[in-house]
């Protein structure tokens, strides 16, 4: 692999040289997942949470022909404000890097970059999945393919019910992706703590989660792991409210002819409007909570790996 595509922020480089735990973060959530200025505030707060837990954050993006492993304050601001920032998944690397444009990395793309950089733990909000109606649209997020093959543990709050959660879990099972519930035996549904679906294993605490990741590493089992961490109770939404708004947003998306990579940002934006901003408040709370627990896991994994 040509390491010259990778450009490390000084903080990240130093941490890696010293063998300290590093946690990857995505940039699509900044450019396409949340509005300004909440996106910028959240990105900075999440980085600080990770530092407080004793790990080093590396927010990942494609800028000027390079894969940035750790972004500067100016870059974070540009990605938060920018409207010319492309949403980058696996298929977009050749174009965006060769043409030296700016790209925000999705879960799939961030996993690719994290693996190239040797980062084992990645914190985000929610993963993409099998969309409802995928029988006809064939809309299955590239995030799932990436989890099937790329060796990074993804800490998230489960999958939103804009997706078909049952089919998403079937897909992960088929591809051998372990789904760990963080202190829960139920797969969380992003805005709510419960989905009605179980997980493959419960991680009782950070060390317990890290020990499962360690076994996977020892055996050389390739592919990702989902660490599903439910939204904190105080920030959880009512299932009936979420279901009702999702129905409206999905119907509108079909009416408006929204397709492909525009679907997820469109639905997130509409849910925020329909909920008078409540989905955004919940989204921010769950990302921060993921940062706390993801960093704890990265710290334990780093200790065990020594």
- Between the alpha carbon of residue 273 and those of residues 18, 24, 55, 283, 298, the distances in Å are 45, 29, 35, 14, 35
Strand partners, 8: 69
Q: How far is the CB of 226 from Mn ion (least distance, A)?
A: 18
Spatial separation of the C-alpha atoms in residues 111 and 26, rounded to whole Å: 9
What residues from 132 to 161 belong to the interface with Mn ion (CB under 5 A)? 139
Burial status of residue 13 (CB atoms within 10 A of its CB: 0-12, 13-18, 19 or more): middle
Residue 143 or 236: the one with the smaller Cβ distance to ligand PSU is 143
Q: How far is the CB of 278 from ligand PSU (least distance, A)?
A: 14
Burial status of residue 251 (CB atoms within 10 A of its CB: 0-12, 13-18, 19 or more): exposed
Under the criterion CB under 5 A, does residue 164 sit at the interface with Mn ion? no
Q: Which residues are catalytic?
A: 26, 160
Residue 23 or 147: the one with the smaller Cβ distance to Mn ion is 147
Strand partners, 24: 58, 122
Among candidate residues 170, 77, 167, 127, the one with its CA nearest the CA of residue 286: 127
Confirm whether residue 185 is marked as ligand binding: no
**Interface residue list for ligand PSU (CB under 6 A):** 26, 28-29, 32-33, 106-107, 125-126, 128, 141-143, 261, 264, 268
Confirm whether residue 142 is marked as ligand binding: yes
Spatial separation of the C-alpha atoms in residues 144 and 177, rounded to whole Å: 9
Confirm whether residue 43 is marked as ligand binding: no
Spatial separation of the C-alpha atoms in residues 52 and 134, rounded to whole Å: 41
57 binds, among ligand PSU, Mn ion, none (CB under 5 to 8 A by kind): none
Confirm whether residue 149 is marked as ligand binding: no
Confirm whether residue 241 is marked as ligand binding: no
Binding mask 48-87 for Mn ion (x = CB under 5 A): ----------------------------------------
Task: With beta carbons less than 8 A apart as the criterion, state whether 9 and 66 touch.
Answer: no
Q: How far is the CB of 265 from ligand PSU (least distance, A)?
A: 7
Binding-site sequence positions for substrate? 87, 107, 141-143
Binding-site sequence positions for Mn(2+)? 139
Which residues lie near Mn ion (CB under 5 A)? 139
């Amino acid at each position: 692999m040509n390491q010259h595509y990778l450009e490390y922020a000084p903080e990240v480089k130093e941490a890696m040289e010293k063998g300290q735990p590093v946690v990857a973060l995505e940039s699509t959530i900044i450019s396409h997942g949340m509005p300004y200025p909440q996106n910028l505030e959240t990105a900075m707060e999440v980085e600080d949470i990770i530092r407080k837990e004793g790990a080093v954050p590396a927010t990942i993006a494609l800028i000027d022909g390079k894969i940035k492993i750790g972004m500067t304050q100016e870059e974070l601001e540009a990605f938060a404000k920018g409207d010319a920032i492309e949403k980058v998944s696996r298929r977009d690397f050749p174009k965006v890097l060769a043409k030296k444009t700016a790209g925000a990395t999705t879960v799939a793309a961030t996993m690719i970059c994290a693996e190239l950089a040797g980062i084992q733990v990645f914190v985000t909000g929610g993963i993409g999945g099998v969309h409802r109606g995928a029988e006809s649209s064939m809309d299955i997020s590239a995030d799932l393919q990436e989890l099937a093959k790329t060796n990074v543990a993804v800490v998230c709050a489960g999958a939103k019910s804009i997706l078909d959660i049952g089919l998403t879990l079937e897909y992960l099972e088929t591809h051998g992706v372990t789904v760990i519930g963080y202190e829960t035996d139920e797969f969380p549904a992003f805005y709510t703590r419960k989905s009605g679906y179980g997980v493959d294993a419960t991680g009782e605490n950070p060390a317990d989660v890290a020990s499962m990741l360690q076994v996977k590493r020892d055996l050389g089992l390739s592919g990702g792991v989902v660490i599903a961490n439910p939204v904190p109770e105080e920030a959880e939404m009512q299932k009936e409210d979420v279901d009702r708004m999702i129905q409206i947003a999905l119907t509108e998306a079909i009416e408006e002819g929204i397709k492909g990579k525009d679907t997820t940002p469109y639905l997130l934006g509409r849910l925020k409007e329909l909920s008078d901003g409540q989905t955004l408040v919940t989204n921010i709370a769950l990302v921060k909570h993921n940062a706390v627990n993801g960093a704890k896991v990265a710290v334990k994994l780093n200790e065990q790996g020594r």
